[in-house]
Chains A and B, each alone.
Chain A
């Protein structure tokens, strides 16, 4: 009897280890990762509200804070300290080509209250619609800049999508939208290297 209990306990431990190992943050390939990106050197990252880089900026989108919060959580899970900004700093261009430069000339004009590293996230595309069910797609782009060196040190993209068929799928539209957004944040931030804790 004790033997069976011991065996079950061992099995429980093995399964728990497997499950817990799957819960930690994972790192995937980024679009661009500079050799200047040294996680241990980064004390804190400033995260302002995301930019609107969509074609139709008139279309309503109520998830700006959700994206910011999601990105902050992902950074914290990776071991970084975060400074949240409830606005977008001045002089940041809302054109993808301007953001995507190794030495952006506009970076020297950007002023933030504190911190050296600035994470800019942009919503490039968003679609949430009904079909025979509901579908949602969200595309995010992200850039991490070193303000002291006036340098882009990381860039990545994340495209999240979800959908559910049928009448139930139509009713689940808010959930489908939420999943697509969360998935895009997770894919975007999965390229940030993990900072080893001291």
Chain B
């Protein structure tokens, strides 16, 4: 009976304890999964084998920064984004990544000017750079490329960031509906050979957030990942 009493106590005591423990584990696991979903994510091509190239000197074009409102508010500029700091950050990280690979790098057309109204010339130059950063050389961009690529022993690196302002994430507890945020930053880079005008390497990465600053940890990680399979000199 005593034993039975003990058993009875155990019988009544253990299920709630297990239940609490399991519930705790379940909630913890859910929280971790939820947090995993909250961290900044990137989309990028899988790593490719690194190729070795003969030339070791690269001219970097000043990056193009574009802003687009996915809610179609027809804005091409946002005061919320620190353009010059992001550009500086992208250039700094690019230079350090390429220097680590053994290239000598030089930034061409360094003047920095940002305004809401851009001249047609700047606009078309930006468009060429944007296309080049995707590794695409259109017939219109060829004269521009020739002008920037006068030394056939060099290579040209085109860079661009396109920032898209979308909608923030949401959760509706009544229906269980969760909506992902649609903000994103796409970073593009392409290496073009100045003698053949052909694209040697190109890559792009989507960072699913708008970086606050050049020191943004996710931005730094994204740029580093962008150059992970960049060629190395012989």
Q: Could you list which residues of chain A lie within 8 angstroms of chain B, going by C-beta atoms? A: 29-31, 55-59, 93, 95, 97-98, 105, 125, 127, 129-133, 135-137, 139, 157, 159, 161-166, 168-169
Which residues from 123 to 156 on chain B have a C-beta closer than 8 Å to any C-beta of chain A? 127, 130-131, 134, 136, 138-140
A136, B182: Cα distance in complex, Å: 10
**Residue total for B at the interface (Cβ-Cβ under 8 A):** 37
Nearest-CB distance from B45 to chain A (Å)?
5
Interface secondary structure of B, over-half rule: mixed
Cβ-neighbour of A165 out of B134, B171, B206 (below 8 A): B171
Q: Which residue of A lies closest to B139 (CB)?
A: A105
The 4 residue pairs across chains A and B that have the minimum distance between CB atoms = A131-B37, A163-B178, A132-B34, A135-B180
Q: Which residue of B lies closest to A94 (CB)?
A: B136
A59, B224: Cα distance in complex, Å: 21
Nearest-CB distance from B98 to chain A (Å)?
21
Residues of B within 8 A of A59 (CB): 43
Q: B15 interface residue, CB < 8 Å from A?
A: no
Residues of A within 8 A of B45 (CB): 55-58
**A159 pairs with B182, CB closer than 8 A:** yes
Q: B186 interface residue, CB < 8 Å from A?
A: yes
**B179 pairs with A163, CB closer than 8 A:** yes
A135, B178: Cα distance in complex, Å: 7
Residues of B within 8 A of A168 (CB): 176
- Using known A-B contacts A98-B136, A125-B206, A129-B37, determine if residue A58 contacts B46 with beta carbons closer than 8 Å: yes
